[in-house]
Amino acid sequence: MTDTELAERFRDGDEEAVRTVYRRHSRAVMTVAMSVLGDRDLAAEAVQQTFLNAWKAAGTFDPEREIAPWLYAIARRAAIDVYRKESRPTQSAHDEEVEVAVSSPGIEQTWEAWEVRSAIDKLSVEEREVVRLSHGEGWAHPEIGGRLGVPVGTVKSRSHRAHQRLARLLRHVVEVAP
């Protein structure tokens, strides 16, 4: 089907043409929406709104023109509308917004975090992955074994060796702490 035929069928409300236009242009429309919004979920909402608006206005589309620029213009306006809607203050049905004080970590906390990160980087790849999954993701040993495709005993051995090494590497941090 040529672009002109597709545009004519789209203008006439042909469902297959609407689906084809979506398949051909949804990624580019998502790119336009992301460039305006910078948030994947909001951009997805703008994409839906774009194709809904395009479908509603299909009868006014001139099939002699290219459909892509027309869709991109609709996408830009839809993204701006989503942005405006999101930036409005919350309505009465929502909890009141509360200001929360955020404090940055002190020099000691930053230093300790740096030391821990440096020590973890000195572990073997296998030990580092066990530590990440265990402490970072909160997974239990059987889950880690399943994820890595190794027996639970291997996970326990790697975890034990990693923790022993970390204890040696971080001994100076514990000695300095008050």
Residue 15 has pLDDT above 80, yes or no: yes
Q: Are residues 34 and 66 in the same domain?
A: yes
pLDDT tens-digit map of 77-90: 999 999 988 877 66
Check residue 95 and give its pLDDT: 63
Q: Is residue 94 part of a domain?
A: no
Mean pLDDT over 56-67 rounds to 85
Joined together, the tokens standing for residue 58 give 């299909």
Please give the tally of structural domains in the chain: 2
CB 119 within 8 A of CB 166: yes
Rounded CA-CA distance 39/24 in Å is 22
State the residue range of the domain holding 68.
Answer: 3-87
Nearest CA to 116 out of 170, 155, 36 is that of: 170
pTM metric for this prediction: 0.49
Mean pLDDT over 13-21 rounds to 87
Q: Are residues 82 and 25 in the same domain?
A: yes
109 or 157, greater pLDDT: 157
Mean pLDDT over 1-29 rounds to 86
Check residue 137 and give its pLDDT: 83
176 or 3, greater pLDDT: 3
Q: Is residue 98 part of a domain?
A: no
Q: Are residues 72 and 114 in the same domain?
A: no
CB 83 within 8 A of CB 23: no
Q: Is residue 95 part of a domain?
A: no
Range from 8-12, 25-29, 151-155 that averages highest in pLDDT: 151-155
Q: Are residues 121 and 81 in the same domain?
A: no
Q: What value, to the nearest 5°, has the Cα angle with vertex 76 and ends 70 and 81? A: 125
Check residue 141 and give its pLDDT: 93
CATH of the domain at 131: 1.10.10.10
Q: Is residue 159 part of a domain?
A: yes
pLDDT tens-digit map of 119-135: 898 999 999 999 999 98
Q: Are residues 77 and 122 in the same domain?
A: no
What is the per-residue DSSP string for 51-66?
Answer: HHHHHHTGGG--TTS-
Residue 13 has pLDDT above 60, yes or no: yes
Read off the pLDDT band of 148 (50, 70, 90).
very high
Q: Is residue 67 part of a domain?
A: yes
CATH of the domain at 54: 1.10.1740.10
